[in-house]
Structure 1
């Protein structure tokens, strides 16, 4: 029986099958596969999404920690660019699944963990997303609070002024996220050109005001040997990879709306690594000129902005608010909200998930995570990188190596279907995850294996790939080419309403 339609590499459920699935406890309007009409995101939408998310305070200051460890400017930029090229690979591999089958991340996870087991990777991603939501809300609120203090002398005397700004900014972030992915798409289109123009203006001002790039770009590395450099390079590289390892997992949440594979792949390949590298360079270059202009290195763009007249501070505050909200609702709310929704699709909605994400973010105490650089890059980024690397590996191994890009869409929404495994759990996925996490953790306790923990995301990813492929050999849930063709109607052209009806008639 044919239940799905493949058109130009995009697979959708037959409309009649969709109607039959509406009463399934695994189905709701947010988690169902996208329709042909909903595959509307062009390359510009994905480029805008990444530019809007990359142009943020954490990216601006990312290189500062590496330079404080002893790197020179081009070592720091190389580390950042390489880390983003590496994480781009799993992003593109998982993007293919979201684009082809139009499914969000929690549903994609059902494929490799089972209908109930999917909550494990979905909630793991949700916890990290909620943590990042809190971090970026804290950073944005702190920036606003600092700029208000610089503009209005009375502000610092207001009781609990930081808490007031944080609460209001939290409400604003949750409120926008509440509107869903289409609001995020619109926000990205608006934010990207504003943030890009602001970055260029800042760079031009710094260069012209200082009469050059300043001393920082000519400062040599503090490392006396390659070995000494590599001691700090690999943990920093892992931190850079972990920065977007979250999006490598739930990128199907966005790519399920892609118009084509080419549209999302080309746009993401061009926008992510280059935006991160260029904006990090702007952060270093501007900070270098502040040594000349102000006599001190101002890594925090908020502290730099506070040096300007009130009107410039006002404009800068708007830019920082836009930046913080764009990365927050784009990268940090969608996955947790979907994961919460997936716990009970018949009752919970994306909007409810967004509110729960915001509340959970408060419990994770972002003010502690950001209290010092060690907590941030070695504690926060390094630890969750060790968790998400194996999950990335399992997702890639399942889709590309085990199933070879073939799946039965209907079965993902059926409790007793092909992907239910044993009582809703694919234990092969659970075992592969445990193996991928446990082996790098040995580096915390065995000094000679420390390199595995310093590169936990990478080691975990490859270990879990090998483990999962081995465990899933000859698994009954895998569709053969013949089985896939038996359930799929193939069409070379975008189906019209009449051709869709014809496909439905064929299924009958």
Structure 2
């Protein structure tokens, strides 16, 4: 229980989790990553690398390396959630201030709204493809796609209204289901293409090491950027952990293993589509629609819908719902935050972001330049400046230890701005293009180092914080 919380910083959804709410074990976190990774955008992430010119070995290694890299800030930022039971927007008050925390929270929330819209569009087009296969006359009716899109969007809103425990139930059920359906799809494509040989025989399209590296570095940044949002708000999930080992083991196994495994499905099926149809088809929704077999299309698209619903709720609603609630805890609940997320997801016009693989990969690199600096500041503050000690009560008090100057920590804002500028400057200055190609890395390390230097110069070391009975060490 928080002592004397300020109503402007506190509601039941933002409060530290109680022991009774700590129900997530190792399996739940493995299932979380299976359900969030085994979905359409992961498939497209891998297939976009094939479409960009990589062979299957280069694509698999790029994806594995990117996920091992992003696993580091993921587990580091998850620690505070499991230890203190606090969500991301509350955690980030320690580094940005009680009012300043709204800045990184809204930056992360806007990106998540974009992802929510993308996932809703994918789910809607999957339903439309199913309708087209069952009733071919609807192919010439564009309105069918829009009706299906809005219908799937409304289904997401219904799950949001049911609350966070419905998410845990859905993920536990869908993980084994998606494994079976993925194996069936891969087996079918193997049969149509004549085995792994023809599927994976396509050579790299890069004629020199320099040409490969020119594509590899922004692609690696895109792989890291893919989970850049969740590497910030992972405390929203680890606050329900039974202990630290549960979240660490679950994430360390789940993220790299399932991302690499499911990405291989996208690589293999995209390569197979070249053999079967004479062109690489990077979208699984379009690919399933090319097979005019109602039973196959129905089963495959049902699997896509389950996967898309899972990741959309888990990765793109929980975080921004808490972020929006942090703006005005007295007025905005988790449910209201989820509804705001859904509306903004429509406003971002996801159909434009999904119009090509180039737009999709570019979207990943662009927002990684904004979120990388936030992750760097969070890690630098919690692990290096505060040595993993937080005053939980002060996180919910307006005049507490994290007020700084009128609720804003100027050192964090300076570091954030510098990190974003360094990460994005290469987009506009050709001679510094390499900075943009490594946007997440540049922003993460620049902002983290600058923040730690500024905080140490101004405050020295923070005062010791007494042990808290809510901690799970």
Q: TM-score, normalised by structure 2?
A: 0.95
> Residues 322-362 of structure 1: CA distance to partner in whole angstroms, max 9, x if unpaired?
11111100111111111111111112100001001100111
Mapped contact 2:43–2:265 kept (Cα < 8 A): yes
From 413, 416, 428, give the equivalent of 1:433. 416
From 373, 378, 384, give the equivalent of 1:395. 378
From 410, 423, 432, give the equivalent of 2:406. 423
What stretches of structure 2 of length at least 5 have no aligned partner?
none
Equivalent-residue separation in structure 2 for 1:474 and 1:182 (angstroms): 44
Tell me by how many angstroms 1:39 deviates: 1.6
3-state SS, counterpart of residue 402 of structure 2: coil
In structure 2, the CA distance between the partners of 1:44 and 1:83, relative to structure 1 (3 Å rule), is same
In structure 2, the CA distance between the partners of 1:286 and 1:488, relative to structure 1 (3 Å rule), is closer
Moved more, 62-71 or 400-409: 62-71
Tell me by how many angstroms 1:182 deviates: 1.3
Mapped contact 2:50–2:270 kept (Cα < 8 A): no
Equivalent-residue separation in structure 1 for 2:241 and 2:189 (angstroms): 39
Mapped contact 1:59–1:279 kept (Cα < 8 A): yes
In structure 2, the CA distance between the partners of 1:290 and 1:413, relative to structure 1 (3 Å rule), is same
1:277 alignment counterpart: 260
In structure 2, the CA distance between the partners of 1:491 and 1:206, relative to structure 1 (3 Å rule), is closer
Tell me by how many angstroms 1:488 deviates: 3.8
2:323 alignment counterpart: 339
Equivalent-residue separation in structure 2 for 1:109 and 1:91 (angstroms): 14
Mapped contact 1:140–1:320 kept (Cα < 8 A): yes
Moved more, 37-46 or 440-449: 440-449
From 50, 54, 71, give the equivalent of 1:88. 71
In structure 2, the CA distance between the partners of 1:490 and 1:68, relative to structure 1 (3 Å rule), is closer
Equivalent-residue separation in structure 1 for 2:133 and 2:282 (angstroms): 17
Equivalent-residue separation in structure 1 for 2:424 and 2:306 (angstroms): 38
Mapped contact 2:51–2:280 kept (Cα < 8 A): no
2:146 alignment counterpart: 163
Q: TM-score, normalised by structure 1?
A: 0.89
User: How do residues 412-491 of structure 1 correspond to structure 2 at under 5 angstroms?
Assistant: 412-473=395-456, 475-476=458-459, 479-480=462-463, 483-485=464-466, 488=468
Mapped contact 1:21–1:27 kept (Cα < 8 A): no
2:162 alignment counterpart: 179
Tell me by how many angstroms 1:477 deviates: 9.6
3-state SS, counterpart of residue 160 of structure 1: helix
Tell me by how many angstroms 1:308 deviates: 4.7
Equivalent-residue separation in structure 2 for 1:67 and 1:491 (angstroms): 46
Equivalent-residue separation in structure 1 for 2:281 and 2:54 (angstroms): 17
Higher-Rg member (1/2): 1
From 305, 329, 340, give the equivalent of 2:313. 329
2:21 alignment counterpart: 38
Moved more, 291-300 or 317-326: 291-300
Mapped contact 1:214–1:289 kept (Cα < 8 A): no
Tell me by how many angstroms 1:382 deviates: 1.2
> Residues 97-134 of structure 1: CA distance to partner in whole angstroms, max 9, x if unpaired?
11111100100111111111000000000000000000
In structure 2, the CA distance between the partners of 1:25 and 1:303, relative to structure 1 (3 Å rule), is closer
3-state SS, counterpart of residue 21 of structure 2: coil
Equivalent-residue separation in structure 2 for 1:246 and 1:52 (angstroms): 17
Equivalent-residue separation in structure 1 for 2:447 and 2:49 (angstroms): 29
Equivalent-residue separation in structure 1 for 2:14 and 2:127 (angstroms): 36
1:251 alignment counterpart: 234
2:249 alignment counterpart: 266
Tell me by how many angstroms 1:183 deviates: 1.4
Equivalent-residue separation in structure 1 for 2:398 and 2:6 (angstroms): 12
Equivalent-residue separation in structure 2 for 1:293 and 1:93 (angstroms): 44
Mapped contact 1:147–1:302 kept (Cα < 8 A): no
1:8 alignment counterpart: none
User: How do residues 4-23 of structure 1 correspond to structure 2 at under 5 angstroms?
Assistant: 15=1, 18=2, 20-21=3-4
3-state SS, counterpart of residue 154 of structure 1: helix
Give the aligned length: 472
Mapped contact 2:84–2:472 kept (Cα < 8 A): no
Moved more, 368-377 or 307-316: 307-316
> Residues 56-113 of structure 1: CA distance to partner in whole angstroms, max 9, x if unpaired?
1111122222222221111011111111111111000001111111100100111111
User: How do residues 193-342 of structure 1 correspond to structure 2 at under 5 angstroms?
Assistant: 193-306=176-289, 307-342=291-326
Mapped contact 2:44–2:266 kept (Cα < 8 A): yes
